[in-house]
């Protein structure tokens, strides 16, 4: 194996390792009871930076107090993470007044306790950008192409080498077989000469 092949194999295996770790960070969190979300705005900076991947654990909403950071459904399609600035208990129904740390005013509507997803337990800066990219087209396609290329780079040289060796062995066996046929033919000619 040449130095270039070794280098290419090293890079390919490094990319595989990065992909496995990244997958574990995204999918493995679910096995620990966490959900991962990408932070798309700077409303909670510097506490939670834009582009971070946050891991959210479900929480008993009755334990949420002023000052806690919660992740919640802002509407049917939007998840937000803001700080609780007030807890309301109207008619026995918990609602949370929230506000982003850098927002000048509270969110328009208090968050109903049923819309609370949980509280962030930790974050990984910038990983959210990658998670968003590979979760949506064209990132899905780019990721699939990169993985296919890695697999080809890792396994194709070995497959080609094995095919070349098999072909060489087949040719060598054919040459041996033909040489034995020639020797056998020579031996039979000699035997025929002795019979005369």
Residue 52 annotated in active site: no
Q: Which has the closest alpha carbon to 128: 195, 192, 17, 49?
A: 49
Instruction: Say which of 41, 43, 132, 135 is annotated catalytic.
Output: 41
Report the Cα–Cα distance between both ends of the chain, in Å, rounded. 59
- ∠ CA 98-104-105, nearest 5°, is 45
Q: Concatenated DSSP letters for 162-179?
A: HHHHHHHHHHHHHHHHHH
So which residues are the catalytic ones?
41
């Amino acid at each position: 194996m040449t130095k270039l092949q070794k280098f290419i194999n090293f890079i390919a295996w490094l990319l595989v390792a990065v992909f496995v770790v990244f997958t574990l960070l995204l999918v493995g969190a679910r096995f620990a009871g966490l959900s991962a979300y990408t932070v798309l705005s700077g409303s909670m900076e510097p506490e939670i930076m834009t582009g971070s991947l946050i891991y959210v654990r479900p929480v008993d909403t009755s334990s949420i107090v002023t000052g806690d950071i919660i992740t919640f459904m802002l509407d049917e399609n939007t998840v937000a993470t803001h700080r609780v600035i007030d807890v309301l208990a109207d008619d026995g129904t918990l609602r949370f007044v929230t506000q982003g740390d850098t927002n000048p005013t509270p969110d328009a509507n208090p968050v109903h306790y049923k819309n609370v997803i949980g509280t962030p337990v930790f974050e990984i800066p910038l990983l959210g950008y990658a998670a968003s990219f590979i979760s949506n087209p064209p990132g899905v396609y780019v990721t699939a192409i990169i993985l296919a290329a890695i697999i080809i780079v890792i396994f194709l040289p070995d497959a080609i080498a094995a095919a070349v060796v098999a072909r060489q062995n087949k040719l060598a066996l054919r040459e041996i077989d033909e040489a034995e046929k020639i020797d056998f033919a020579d031996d039979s000619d000699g035997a025929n000469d002795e019979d005369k």
